[in-house]
């Protein structure tokens, strides 16, 4: 780890101005991903600006119009334990509880969680050589290397990495909005547009610019949210990033699906919503496993597995079906 100076901010406008003016400065809240990046030298800012003292950014509020507003500095463990979150959006509470360890969840912030960088081993290992995300134009060692954990959707020749955040998958299924304040004022960014596909610039994970501060995430009310579930499949149940995960939610009408939401993790550079499947699921009974499977398959016709991860195509569809059935059993 390279040395850095630690500064502290006590108001948002000051933090945004300082960040905008200094290309060698990074915000730090819980630091649970950033410190790992510093140790791996995948990031080496000269200055860290501690934003934990910023006011009104750790709340969990229920606005009158419904849904929830979760402050960017709220800790994962606090959000997972919040009774409003558990009642209104079980998928969000479960995605948090399946993330990391208890100690990490006590430190990690909601804003930092959705800013996490990929766990691609080539990116995290400074001795591994070619990685366009770590060093633009150097190549992608995973494309023809070990790519069991990598993407099956939306990848490019420049990068085949996946996004590691469980919470972002749940937020994607719930159509959450990221509230960002920058030098030109506040922006409301749908979670679906927050993370980027790699394209030719995989060094950019998201649409955040210098001088942008994530202030909160809004999760709007929706008719499916209470019957929702997050299912995560990983190599080690105690603590591991997802091989494949699904955030599913469903509303029923006389024993048949009226509307469904499914987003998947571990399959792309961003949370991957199964839009084609969602429209085909209407009218199907949750007991009709083959019918569910057939509807979900519509979202996998453009899956492009790599040399070592073809198993994810089958696994992801099974995970989506099971997540949907588990969510539906909660009605
Ligand atoms: Fe780097 Fe992306 Fe290739 Fe991994 S998949 S080596 S992060 S460019």
Per-residue pLDDT reduced to its tens digit, 142-192:
999 999 999 999 999 999 999 999 999 999 999 999 999 999 999 999 999
Per-residue buried b or exposed e for 55-75, using 16+ beta carbons within 10 Å of the residue's own CB: eebbebeeeeeebbbbbbbbb
CA of 198 relative to ligand 1 center, distance in Å: 10
Residue 125 has a pLDDT of: 95
Whether the per-residue pLDDT at 128 is higher than 90: the answer is no
pLDDT above 90: percentage of residues in the chain: 98
Q: Under a CB-based contact definition with an 8 Å cutoff, are residues 41 and 47 in contact?
A: no
Residue with tokens 């945004």: 16
Q: How far apart are the first and last CA of the chain?
A: 50
Pocket test for ligand 1, best of 42, 120, 135 (most atoms within 8 A of CB): 120
CA of 2 relative to ligand 1 center, distance in Å: 23
Q: Under a CB-based contact definition with an 8 Å cutoff, are residues 162 and 151 in contact?
A: yes
The two three-digit tokens of residue 137, written as one number: 């134009």
Residue closest by Cα to atom 7 of ligand 1: 123
Whether the per-residue pLDDT at 22 is higher than 90: the answer is yes
Atom of ligand 1 nearest to the CA of 161: 5
CATH number of 229-328: 3.30.390.50
Atom of ligand 1 nearest to the CA of 128: 6
Ligand 1, pocket residues at CB < 6 Å? 118, 120, 122-123, 131-133, 140-142, 159-161, 202
Other Cβ atoms less than 10 A from the Cβ of 192: the count is 17
Pocket test for ligand 1, best of 43, 118, 122 (most atoms within 8 A of CB): 122
Whether the per-residue pLDDT at 129 is higher than 90: the answer is no
Spans of all domains in the chain: 229-328
Overall average pLDDT of the 285-306 stretch: 98
What global pTM score does this model have?
0.98
Instruction: List the single range of 151-155, 204-208, 236-240, 301-305 with lowest mean pLDDT.
Output: 236-240
């Amino acid at each position: 780890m390279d040395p850095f100076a630690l500064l502290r901010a006590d108001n948002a406008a000051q933090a945004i101005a300082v960040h905008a003016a200094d290309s060698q400065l990074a915000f730090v809240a819980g630091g649970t991903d950033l410190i790992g990046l510093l140790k791996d030298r995948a990031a080496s800012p000269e200055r860290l600006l501690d934003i934990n003292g910023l006011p009104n950014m750790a709340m969990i509020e229920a606005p009158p119009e419904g849904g929830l507003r979760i402050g960017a500095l709220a800790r994962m463990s606090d959000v997972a334990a919040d009774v409003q979150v558990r009642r209104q959006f079980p998928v969000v509470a479960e995605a948090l509880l399946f993330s990391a360890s208890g100690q990490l969840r006590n430190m990690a912030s909601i804003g930092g969680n959705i800013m996490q960088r990929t766990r691609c081993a080539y990116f995290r290992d400074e001795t591994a050589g070619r990685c366009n995300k770590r060093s633009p134009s150097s190549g992608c060692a995973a494309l023809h290397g070990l790519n069991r954990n990598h993407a099956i959707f939306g990848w490019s020749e420049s990068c085949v990495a996946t996004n590691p955040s469980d919470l972002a998958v749940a937020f994607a299924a719930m159509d959450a909005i990221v509230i960002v304040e920058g030098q030109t004022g506040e922006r409301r960014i749908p979670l679906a547009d927050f993370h980027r596909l790699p394209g030719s610039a995989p060094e950019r994970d998201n649409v955040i610019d210098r001088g942008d501060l994530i202030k909160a995430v809004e999760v709007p009310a929706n008719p499916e949210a209470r019957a929702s579930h997050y299912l995560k499949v990983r190599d080690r149940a105690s603590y591991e990033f997802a091989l494949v995960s699904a955030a599913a939610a469903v509303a029923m009408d006389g024993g048949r699906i009226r509307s469904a939401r499914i987003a998947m993790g571990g399959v792309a550079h961003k949370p991957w919503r199964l839009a084609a499947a969602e429209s085909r699921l209407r009218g199907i009974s949750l007991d009709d496993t083959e019918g569910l499977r057939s509807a979900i398959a519509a979202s996998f016709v453009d899956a492009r597995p790599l040399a070592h991860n073809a198993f994810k195509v089958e696994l992801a569809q099974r995970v989506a079906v099971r997540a949907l059935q588990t969510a539906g059993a909660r009605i």
